[in-house]
Amino acid sequence: MDNGRQIKDMLYEQVARIGKAISSPKRLELIELLCQAEKAVETLAQEASISMKLASAHLRELRNARLVDTRREGKNIFYRLADKRVADFWVNVHSLAEDRLVELQEALHDLSLLPDELVPNDRESLMKAARKGEVVVLDVRPVDEYLTAHLPFARSIPLGELKHRLAELPKDRPIVAYCRGPYCLMAPDAVALLKDEGYSAHLLRDGVAEWARPSGN
């Protein structure tokens, strides 16, 4: 049965291609960005703070692992997730990491300045309140990401425009801001800004990918 060993080695090696694809921080960040919307290489490079060449190299790895696909439009090549399952997988990976790695737990805890309980924090009651208009769910990502997918009842004001568009938000109701997910810092920034301006602002850790999945586990 030495033949069986060769077959097995081959099978695990194939699965490891997925593992290798997600073994680099920058590739994970690219996947999270692609969870929001399809994007051109240069956009991805800027949002992940790397050079276009490096982004291209990482995206190639992701494509070799069949996690992303491409589409050309004029001079641009747009990358997108190859499958909705890839978004679920990303959520599963980071949520496992949050479960297992104390360092990550601590870092996230430091970021979120204590989850304040003024706002419903389970999904159902948050949605109920949002439906009734008792809270404003605010999507602070770029508009194209909002247009690709957003949480139910969410309103779009990109972080960059928030300062000039404060008038659109009510001061008498709590505002719950979200962005790309727990590693994106746009919503925390938005919350800080809103609180400064006297709003009752709260942070929702989930993004659309997390929302589409059984909460946190």
Partner DNA sequence: TAATTAGTCTAACAATCATTAGATTGTATG
Partner DNA sequence: CATACAATCTAATGATTGTTAGACTAATTA
Q: With respect to a second copy, which residue has the nearer C-beta, 49 or 198?
A: 49
Contact call for residues 55 and 48 (beta carbons, < 8 A) = yes
> Which of 168, 167, 152 is closest to 204 using CA atoms?
152
CA end-to-end distance (rounded Å), the chain: 40
Q: Which residues pair with 69 in a beta bridge?
A: 80
Amino acid in position 126:
L
**Part of the chain binding DNA (CB under 7 A), chosen from 21-29, 129-137, 148-156, 197-205:** 21-29
Among 33, 45, 55, 86, binds a second copy (CB under 8 A): 86
Among 55, 67, 126, 179, binds a second copy (CB under 8 A): 67
Tokens representing 161 are: 């425009």
**Part of the chain binding a second copy (CB under 8 A), chosen from 33-41, 115-123, 146-154, 177-185:** 177-185
Residue 108 binds a second copy (CB under 8 A): yes
Among 6, 11, 12, 76, binds DNA (CB under 7 A): 76
Largest CA distance in the chain: 73
Binding mask 33-52 for a second copy (x = CB under 8 A): ----------------x---
Other C-beta atoms closer than 10 Å to the C-beta of 72 total: 8
Contact call for residues 54 and 26 (beta carbons, < 8 A) = yes
User: In angstroms, rounded to a whole number, what is the distance separating the alpha carbons of residues 79 and 6?
Assistant: 35
Q: Which does 56 bind (CB under 5 to 8 A by kind): a second copy, DNA, none?
A: DNA
Amino acid in position 190:
A
Tokens representing 70 are: 């491409």
Residue 143 binds DNA (CB under 7 A): no
Catalytic residues: 179
Contact set with a second copy (CB under 8 A): 1, 4-5, 7-26, 28-29, 49, 65-67, 82-83, 85-86, 89, 92-94, 96-97, 99-104, 107-108, 111, 182-185, 189, 217
